[in-house]
Amino acid sequence: MRNTEKEILARAIEQFEELTGYATEIKQEFKLPKNKIVDARVRIPKIKVNFYAEIKINITNQTLGAVVHQIKELTKGGNELLITHYVTPQIAERLKGMNMQFLDTAGNAFINLPNLFLYIKGNKTKEDFVREKPVRAFQPAGLQLIYALICNPGLENKPYRMMAEKAMIANGAVTLVVKDLKKLGYLIDMGKQGRRIINKKELLNRWVNLYAELLRPKLLLGIYRTDNTDWWKQQDITNIKGLYGGETAAALLTKYLKPQNHTIYAEKNYGKLLLQLKLKNDPHGNVEVLEKFWNFNDVMEKNNIVNPVLIYADLLATGDNRNIETAKLVYDKEVIRYIRED
């Protein structure tokens, strides 16, 4: 763990011990079965409880869904615990609704055990842990390239010019991002055997979090509404260069979710799409149009939807419980094949 994360862990545990009177034992970078590692195991000897903790410097509404899903996926039903710098009252309510236990450095907490219940929100933080600025690989251009690499196995061995074209970024940006991915341990150069993406699951997790926070907000072209609740079931929008993402795509892919909000990825000039779908401007509407940020054909486009990796990211970005549940279905059914280590 980085020093900032260790400091957050120490301060959050100190607050917990003051609140409860329970002493704790901390073991950092604790190994779980199947070689999974959590940031820390927090043991309370007096009541014989172990928490398996992941530390996140900052939590936002955009990253909340991904963080909760990733922690629960890591611990697989264990006594998971989120430790972070500060949880706002609104996010505390959402975490409690997801039954996601947490501690922060301000003394806010949610612990839900048979022999210990704790729910505190509204304590103000006195200090600010400034998150380090992401390296180029995890800034918007890098996120576009990572998406293209995840969706197109083997693309890492193509010329930089082709990578740039598929990710819709400059050639020079590819050079810098590839350098970062090598340095961070996500890309290795095997000489005559070419380059290879590794640690794909970790790379995906980082991408999903930062896509929601840094790239997705930049892609918004407009928010609209339509009076026809079932319009998406009959509308093929590929002829007007549109594709469904988010809840709409998940509904078409899994048949599990009834979408409340709709996402469409389109090119910048999307006037025909608005006319065909009869969409009306409304800042509180339930149809968002985002700019398409990739330039490659995907097998899912024949079904009118974006790649499952993007559907998964869109669902988690909502932070909605039912969408997180659907995201897990999409992950288990579709996304998993993109992150298998060969």
Interval 215-256: pLDDT, tens: 999 999 999 998 777 778 777 787 778 899 999 999 999 988
Interval 147-160: pLDDT, tens: 999 999 999 999 99
221 and 333 share one domain: yes
Query: Among 93, 120, 147, where does a domain finish?
Result: 120
Interval 296-327: pLDDT, tens: 988 888 888 999 999 999 999 998 889 999 99
333 and 223 share one domain: yes
128 found inside a domain: no
Interval 180-200: pLDDT, tens: 999 999 999 988 888 999 999
| Tokens (6 digits) for 197 | 């993406």
DSSP 234: H
Q: What CATH number corresponds to the domain at position 97?
A: 3.40.1350
Query: Among 168, 198, 228, where does a domain finish?
Result: 198
- Considering the chain, what is the average pLDDT of its residues? 90
112 found inside a domain: yes
125 found inside a domain: no
194 found inside a domain: yes
Q: What's the CA gap between 323 and 88, in Å, rounded?
A: 22
291 and 233 share one domain: yes
Strand 262-266 and strand 287-291: the pairing is parallel
Q: pLDDT class for 18, splitting at 50, 70, 90?
A: very high
Is the Cβ–Cβ distance between 293 and 144 less than 8 Å? yes
8 and 58 share one domain: yes
Q: Residue 143: give the domain boundaries.
A: 136-198
Helix locations, 266-307, DSSP H: 271-277
154 and 253 share one domain: no
80 and 185 share one domain: no
From residue 216, how far is each of 17, 211, 293 by CA, in Å?
Answer: 39, 6, 10
Query: How many domains does one find in the chain?
Result: 3
171 and 250 share one domain: no
12 found inside a domain: yes
189 and 261 share one domain: no
143 and 185 share one domain: yes
177 and 242 share one domain: no
255 found inside a domain: yes
Interval 121-139: pLDDT, tens: 999 887 665 566 678 899 9
pLDDT at position 293 over 90: yes
187 and 220 share one domain: no
Q: What's the CA gap between 186 and 200, in Å, rounded?
A: 7
211 found inside a domain: no
Q: What CATH number corresponds to the domain at position 148?
A: 1.10.10.10
Strand 280-281 and strand 220-225: the pairing is antiparallel
Query: Among 120, 155, 187, where does a domain finish?
Result: 120
131 found inside a domain: no
188 and 92 share one domain: no
Residues 6+ apart with CB under 8 A from 211: 143, 147, 313, 317
- Residue % of the chain over a pLDDT of 90: 66
Quote the pTM value: 0.85
